[in-house]
Structures are given as C-alpha cells and as structure tokens.
Amino acid sequence: SQQGEEDPQALSIQEGENATMNCSYKTSINNLQWYRQNSGRGLVHLILIRSNEREKHSGRLRVTLDTSKKSSSLLITASRAADTASYFCATDDNNDMRFGAGTRLTVKP
C-alpha cells in the first residue's frame, strides 16, 4: 500500500494565489520529500525535509513536517501558470521510497 497520501487530489487556483497541499503518512520516516511531475514527464525533486526538521524553505516553496501527526504540507506562494503540474510526497523509511497518489495543481493565468 502507498505510504503517503496527498490531499486534495486536485486543486485549481488563479495565478498569484498561494497553493497548499498536504501529505499524510503511516510509519516512521527518515525524511520526506516533495516531487513535481509535468504531464508526460518524469518526477523532479523539489525539496527534502528531515525527520528532525519542522520547516524548510526553498524559493517560493515552504514545507512543514509534523512527525507527531505524521503529516507534511507544501506551500507554493505567488503561484504561476508554469507551476501547473502534479505534486507528490515521498517518504523514506530506510527500506524504500514510497509515493502518494499526488495532487494535481492547475494555476489559471
């Protein structure tokens, strides 16, 4: 079964708005990563947060991790049409890397 579960499954916003995606997981992890996938392409790594970190920033991306709730969120600020893609969380528990089903983000110009 999948480890991470993203929420919502789909999100549609206007350019300039912020987009927030959530991820819940089931077991203990070493780290959690977020990936982006453009239609028909492979996944591209966005950001990694370790289990002892609570928040991390990278450009317009902000990731939080709450290990007590086994959840993470990805915030994309000031979204652009080019941010339209699917976003996946992946949990790394030292055995393998499991991905959720993803959130499909559409940013309307």
Partner 1 sequence: NAGVTQTPKFQVLKTGQSMTLQCAQDMNHNSMYWYRQDPGMGLRLIYYSASEGTTDKGEVPNGYNVSRLNKREFSLRLESAAPSQTSVYFCASFMDRGRGTEAFFGQGTRLTVV
In whole angstroms, the minimum distance from the beta carbon of 81 to partner 1 comes to 23
Of the two residues 42 and 109, which places its CB atom closer to partner 1 in the complex? 42
Q: Residues 7-46: x/- map of binding to partner 1 (CB under 8 A)?
A: --x--------------------xx-x-x----xxxxxx-
Rounded Cα distance between 8 and 51, Å, is 23
Backbone angles phi, psi at 72, to 5 degrees: -140, 155
Q: Residues 39-68: x/- map of binding to partner 1 (CB under 8 A)?
A: -xxxxxx--x-x------------------
In whole angstroms, the minimum distance from the beta carbon of 42 to partner 1 comes to 3
DSSP 39-71: TTS-EEEEEEEETT-SEEEETTEEEEEETTTTE
The 10 Å Cβ neighbour count of residue 92 is 17
Q: What is the CA radius of gyration of the chain?
A: 13
Give the footprint of partner 1 on this chain (CB under 8 A). 1-2, 4, 9, 30-31, 33, 35, 40-45, 48, 50, 88, 90, 92-102
